[in-house]
Amino acid sequence: MHIHKFEQFWIRLSFVLIAFFIATVVYGFVAMDLKVIGDHATIDPQNLEETPFGNPGVREVTRNGQTEYEVYVQTIQFAFNPGTAQPIEVPVDTRVTFYITSPDVLHGFDVAGTNLNTMSIPGQVAKFTTIFPEVREYGIVCNEYCGPAHHVMEGKIKVVPKSEFDKSNLVE
């Protein structure tokens, strides 16, 4: 086989590039806490009432002696519950774990302008943990087509100082 020496060099360089990409992804994943969601649990989308999703909202939990929060969100045609009717309120600099699922069709759950971005698939529970680093409001966008009024589906996350966090809105 006749491969020109320049092309041989370029092929070696291409392998270097591929290895470099994989290395950065792994470095980000391991050392910089830039994860993706994985396989958590399946759920019967027609019977969410009997699960925590039947009473969606923010819950307080204690894990490893720390106060953390869990947020159960249902994405429905064409709203986030909670998120659309009232904002999801969470404290700053605290671990927050989201559990997201859908009783009807596929939706997206994208916190605009951040790396929080997941699909909401009927039958699957998407689970991820994050820490909001600053006090501000974020918009939530449904970024997967979900039906004729898909474009009105939006919500809000309100990140407040720990001292101002109102625990009366928590669900049990």
Partner 1 sequence: MSEDLSQSKNNPDSAKSWEERDPDIEREITIDEFQPYGTLTLTLIYFAIVVLMWIFMYFVEFAGNAPSIIE
Partner 2 sequence: MTFLHKYPKAAKVAKANFIVAFIALAIGGFFGFVQALHRTDVFRGFFNSGEYYTLLTGHGVLLALIFTTFFIAGLFVWGVTRSLDREPENMTFTWSWFWLMTIGLVMATVAILGGLVPDSSIRAAVLYTFYPPLQAHPMFYIGLALVVVGSWMAGADWFWSYRKWRAENPNERIPILTFMALFTMLMWYVCTIGLALEVVGLLIPWSLGLVTEIEPLLPRTLFWFFGHAVVYFWLLPAYYVWYAILPKLSGGRLFSDSMTRIVFIIFLLLSTPVGYHHQYADAGISVGFKFYAMATTLLLLLPSLITLFTVVASMEHGARQRGGKGYLKWIGKLPWDSPAFVGCAFAGIMFAAGGFSGMINASMNINLLIHNTLWVPGHFHLTVGTAVALTFMAITYWLLPQLTGRKLKHKTLALIQPYTWFLGMTLMSNAMHRAGLAGVPRRTAEPQYSGFDFEPIFGTMAEMNWQIAIGGTILTISLILFLWVVVASWLAGEKSDKPVDDHIPEPLSGVEHTPAILDNMKLWFTLALILVVLAYAFPLWEMVADGIFEPGALPRPS
Half-sphere exposure of 117 (CA within 13 A, CB side): 7
Interacting residues with partner 2 between 44 and 63 (CB under 8 A): 44-46
CA distance 117 to 111: 6
The residue (of 48 and 159) whose beta carbon lies closer to partner 1 is 159
The residue (of 116 and 160) whose beta carbon lies closer to partner 1 is 116
Least distance to partner 2, CB of residue 124, Å: 4
Least distance to partner 1, CB of residue 131, Å: 6
| 71 and 83 Cβ atoms separated by less than 8 Å | no
Is-cis flag, bond preceding 80, omega within 30?
A: no
Q: What single letter denotes the amino acid at residue 136?
A: R
Q: Which residues bind partner 1 (CB under 8 A)?
A: 2, 4, 6-7, 9-10, 13, 17, 20-21, 24, 28, 32-37, 97, 111, 113-116, 118, 128-133
